[in-house]
Chains A and B, each alone.
Chain A
Amino acid sequence: MEPTLEFEKPIAEIEEMIAKLKKLSEDKKGDFSNQIKELEKECVEHKERIYANLTPWQIVQIARHPKRPVLEDYLSLICDEFIELHGDRRFADDQALIGGFATLDSRRVMLIGHNKGKSVDENIKRNFGQARPDGYRKALRLMKLAEKFRLPVITLIDTQGAYPGRDGEERGQHEAIARNLTEMARLEVPVVACVIGEGGSGGAIGIGVGDVILMLQNAIYSVISPEGCAAILWRDAAKAPEAADALKLTAQSLHELGICDEIIPEPAGGAHHNHSETVENIKNTLVKYVDKLSRLSGSKLVQKRFEKYSKIGMFAD
């Protein structure tokens, strides 16, 4: 369960004590069953108290947890098959944003997502899931291929944002994202978008224009990172917890704002505590929407998607 988040330390401490007592019992150094029972009860109470009252900033920590399942985990755990397709046919094959044919519960789909990688080496190779224009152009190429093959598209979003580098800017990060937003609006196959970790601004929405927008319970979706917002509006990046609160970036908030269609539950404390439970939840929900949307014609999907986005926003008139 390493590394432990600050607010989870009381739980980790008790769990450690329980483990020690169990070890002693196993080694026949005495009977600690009563003490273990007490501690276990205390542990459950702590969990209930802490996990039921997570602040937005704590949820940000969970969404970014290094042990949180990433795209690669989902590929191996929810897909019966995944055939990766590489390259944007223009410049490169971006490792931060990948995609390919996938089979989920015998449904054939095009699956596209940010891949942060699981180890430090992988993180670096995959640029921590921060894609360049090449990634967004590859994603679009695969979406158009899905349209031709009449396959539903699933996008799994997990990025801090599009990569703010010189090369990305030179190759038109803005144009690549803008093009995706425009083309996704008229894609004549179902699009199921799901935020699995961080939904970071333009880099997230660049593959996020779905008929439905799903979020894992502890995923976040924001116009700017809490740190970035704090640096600009509070002139102090350390005010990120306040900014996280103000930005209303949790799945619960997005549901209330009418943007997130369904929240996919995670085990207590977050997906990193139990990968397999999260995987089961996400797979069932994705399949449910793929089936539901596959009943609609291409033109109906485009019309409904247009209506959905037309309604997003709150203003006075």
Chain B
Amino acid sequence: MGWFTKSKQDKRVIKDEIWTRCESCKAHIFKEDWTNNLSVCPRCNFHGRITAYERIGQILDSGSFKEINQSITPSDPLEFSDAKGSYAEKVKASRKKAGLNESVITGTGQIKEIPVVVAVMDFRFLGGSLGSGTGEKILRAANTAYSQRLPYIVFSASGGARMHEGVLSLMQMAKTCAGIARLDKRGLPYFSVLTHPTTGGVSASYAMVGDINISEPGALIGFAGRRVIEQTIKQKLPENFQTAEYLVEKGFIDCIVQRKDMKNTLAALLAYYQSKR
């Protein structure tokens, strides 16, 4: 878990002011065109990573989002340090760089006037890893959906567990799923949108148990890392292994939705939920 590492190209993209280089087809795209196209490559349709707030802007009705539990942030329970420094320093740097307190943003809002609770992960904060704070926020948002009897939608983007919090991170898998399990008791819909990338402990917990599992084109979704699998089985894996398309083929994703259609699709799906009220 936690094996997803940023490629070198990403850093170049950040430095470049005019051009964005597509992670997939390597084409140079005008930054403005890239942004106007919702960070989707106009050449190859690669769906690039976006921030949690960008996602919220694309999905929720304008002005409807009310953030909850914004102040939750890591506390370094293990006083963890590795060769490159301490977890506390990494958190500090990530908070500054991403302008976030944790790897997920949660709150209430509306999708085409349908009230929902959302949790949106942000890969920029420690690779979207599942820390104690992440698990807490995802559970609390589920509890909000439970108590207010609202549908719950989680957008995942994560390299997996957060090693710096050790077994506490692992336990968040059970904790978040316990929150999801409770929604069934009240017959509340739970949609999981697995965006690029959703791997390791997040794929093996709340991200994979949606009533409906949705993804975006080309998203990487997997439990074990490609390199680990190749070393284990001593074979090369097919090119499309662990892509959203591959998971549809294997029966784990209901549908792949273009980013520009995501809001409409979610609204259309929610319309099939016959609320008891």
Contacts and interface: CB of A to CB of B under 8 A. Distances in A.
A binds B: yes
Contacts of A172: 208, 250-252
B77 A178 contact: no
B82 A316 contact: no
A254 to B, nearest CB: 6
Interface string B156-170: 000001110111111
A309 B171 contact: yes
A166 B74 contact: no
Contacts of B165: 223, 314
A259 B75 CA distance: 17
Q: Report which residue of B163, B165, B229 has the largest number of chain A beta carbons within 10 angstroms of its beta carbon.
A: B163
Contacts of A229: 163
A180 to B, nearest CB: 9
Interface in A163-194: 163-166, 168-175, 177-179, 181-186
Nearest to B139: A310
A111 interface: no
B177 A315 contact: no
B181 A222 contact: no
B58 interface: no
A223 B72 contact: no
A175 B163 CA distance: 21
B106 interface: no
Nearest to B135: A313
A252 B187 CA distance: 41
Interface in A122-168: 162-166, 168
B72 to A, nearest CB: 5
A309 B143 CA distance: 13
Contacts of B83: 233-236, 239
Given A247-B163, A254-B167, A315-B131, A164 B232 contact: yes
B114 interface: no
Contacts of A116: none
A177 B77 CA distance: 26
Contacts of A168: 223-224
Interface string B77-107: 1101111100000000000000000100000
B233 interface: yes
- How many interface residues does chain A have, given as a range? 35 or more
Interface residues of B, number: 70
A202 B223 contact: yes
A234 B82 contact: yes
B269 interface: no
Interface string A240-258: 0011001111000010010
B206 A178 contact: yes
Contacts of A243: 82
A313 to B, nearest CB: 3
A43 interface: no
Interface stretch (B31-39, B42-50, B197-205): B197-205
B89 to A, nearest CB: 13
Contacts of A317: 69, 71-73
A209 interface: yes
Given A174-B252, A246-B166, A315-B74, 13 more contacts: A164-B228, A172-B252, A182-B209, A186-B185, A221-B170, A222-B166, A222-B167, A223-B201, A259-B168, A306-B178, A309-B174, A314-B165, A315-B72
For the complex of A and B, the 9 pairs showing the least CB-CB separation, nearest first, are A313-B132, A164-B224, A314-B77, A181-B177, A233-B82, A315-B133, A185-B178, A174-B203, A178-B208
10 contacts: A164-B224, A164-B225, A166-B233, A178-B203, A181-B173, A181-B174, A224-B163, A248-B166, A312-B132, A315-B72
